[in-house]
Amino acid sequence: MAKQTKYHLEIEIDKLTNSIVNTISGDSFPTDVHPVSKTDLKNTIKKNGWLFNWASEFKLTDRQIFKLTIRNNPDIIQGLLSISDYNDHFYLHLIESSPFNLGKNKLYEGVPGNLFAFACKSSWDKGYQGFVSFTSKTKLIEHYEKTLGATHVGGHRMMIFPQEAFKLIKKYFPI
């Protein structure tokens, strides 16, 4: 079995958008979230600018890995997410924007918010009322409180409660 790791999330929420927005043109693109296949992960390696070992994460049997793509363009991964179903909420282990969506020259904004919203929607769809928890780096606790409406529940643990989860779901997955 692959080595279990506990991550402290340190991704910044650049902007809450309705999908993802091209930083050059300002155009908004609808997105899809799909389970990742082993083939999808061939290029998500450190040599290509990815920060985490997604192939190792994929091997962990208690997790599901999802990819965010622009609708009708499923081969270009905009970001990745690793979550576990804890039977009353989802735990978000890891989230990462594609290397071309990082820094001041990023191509798209809204990727991290979109992935957090997907975790909330998965929780909602499962009957958990949108409850999502994650572990944050200390320096980003306040950031997650302001941008996502997450609640600091002690230590490094953060929780997104139903009211805030529903706001994220409505923004990214209009009904």
pLDDT digits (tens, 9 = 90+) for 132-142: 999 998 888 99
CATH code for position 155: 3.40.630.30
0.85 surpassed by pTM? yes
- With respect to residue 82, please indicate whether it lies within any of the assigned structural domains: yes
Q: Which two tokens stand for residue 149?
A: 């409406």
Range of the domain at 52: 20-172
User: Would you say 7 and 158 are in contact if contact means Cβ atoms under 8 Å apart?
Assistant: no
Cα dihedral angle (163, 88, 2, 76), rounded to 10 degrees? -40
pLDDT digits (tens, 9 = 90+) for 138-175: 888 999 999 999 999 999 999 999 999 999 999 888 76
How is the beta sheet containing 73-85 ordered, strand by strand? 31-35, 64-70, 73-85, 90-97, 132-135, 157-160, 151-154
Number of domains in the chain: 1
